[in-house]
Amino acid sequence: MQKALNDLESSEILSREQAALLRRIYGRELFSVHWELRLLLYGGILILTAGLGLLVAEHFASIGHLTLLAAIALGCVACFAYCLRHGGGFSPESLATPDAAYDYVLLLGCLLLGTLQGYLELRYQFLDQYWNWWLLASALIYLLCAHYFDNRLALSLGLSTLGAWLGVKTSHLGTGLWDGALRDSALFFGALVIAAGAAQTRLGWKRHFLPVHLHLGVNVLLTALVAGVGSRAAGSAYLAGLLLTGSGSAFYALRERSFAFLLYAVLYGYVGITIFMLDLGHWSSEGIIFYFLVSAVTLLTALVALHRRFGSA
């Protein structure tokens, strides 16, 4: 095994780091489970908060309102107190994480805060029909926590909650799920998220937050454009916007060597072009099956080839 690894490394099939990792595994030495532990922590936080939400929804009458409020509030305060004690304070630059649990304790505190706000509105209806302002307040608090504690999980939560608030505000206009008003709101939100990330990077403030802004903003933009391709009135305009945005995402992927943005461009572009072509004319069942067979095989082949090129680079 050692000889095989030496041969693979000398022929540059394996990099030095990959060969060293395989040698440690073969020799039964310790190796990192950093990302596995982070994934388990993240999943545990989500399961815990989901279970707490179900507990509040189903048993709040028997447990008692004040008891539930006090328990959730104490848990939230404890999480934020832990982060304030162990965190390094605000800085425009990236901060080192104090320990493995820090990010997830902050995420738990933010989710408990959201649960507390939802329970207060459910029980006391402070804002009545304007309850969506709780979403805006939550989004602003999450964004504040993200920038103060330098946490990208809280940033993702804040940006997605802000998008949810904008969607709820638009739905109150009496519009459907993917009609023009909601698509316009999604396009505005996606462009705003990308512009905010670019502005922060330009100003030298939290530059490491840019990927979070780009991933969310590009996905929202491309989703809204794909949803508009099927509209009869402006389908071609949405398709042109989709191809333009996808080209920008692909160019960024090639420049930054980030395969994810190339994947977004290819997959969303494929879905948009497929919708446009199927709406363009009358297709027989055999024609549709043939189209999907040929296009799917071509798409998978292209993605595998591009992924290999990115991996070798």
Share of the chain above pLDDT 70, in %: 85
pLDDT for res 7: 67
User: CA-to-CA distance for 194 and 186, rounded, in angstroms?
Assistant: 12
**What pLDDT, on a 0 to 100 scale, did the predictor assign at position 313?**
47
In angstroms, how far is CA 11 from the centroid of its own chain?
Answer: 39
Give the separation between CA 310 and CA 267, rounded to whole angstroms.
Answer: 17
Per-residue confidence band for 144, with pLDDT thresholds at 50, 70 and 90 = very high
Burial class (CB in 10 A: 0-12, 13-18, 19+), 213: buried
The mean-pLDDT minimum among 1-10, 75-84, 154-163 falls in 1-10
| pLDDT tens track for 255-297 | 888 889 999 999 999 999 999 988 877 788 888 889 899 998 9
The residue among 184, 276, 263 whose CA lies nearest residue 226 is 276
In angstroms, the CA 63 to CA 56 distance is: 9
List, in order, residues 6 or more apart from 151 with CB less than 8 Å away.
Answer: 103, 106, 107, 145
Share of the chain above pLDDT 90, in %: 33
Under the banding of pLDDT at 50, 70 and 90, the label for residue 46 is: confident
Mean pLDDT across 107-133: 81
Of 200, 237, 205, 230, nearest to 217 by C-alpha is 200
In the predicted structure, residue 55 carries a pLDDT above the cut 90: no
Buried residues in 110-145 as b, exposed as e (16+ CB within 10 A): bbbbbbbbbbbbeeeeeeeeeebebbbbbbebbbeb
Q: Which residue has the higher pLDDT, 155 or 28?
A: 155
Contact 191, 221 (CB under 8 A): yes
Q: Residue holding tokens 């042109």?
A: 240
- This prediction has a pTM of 0.77
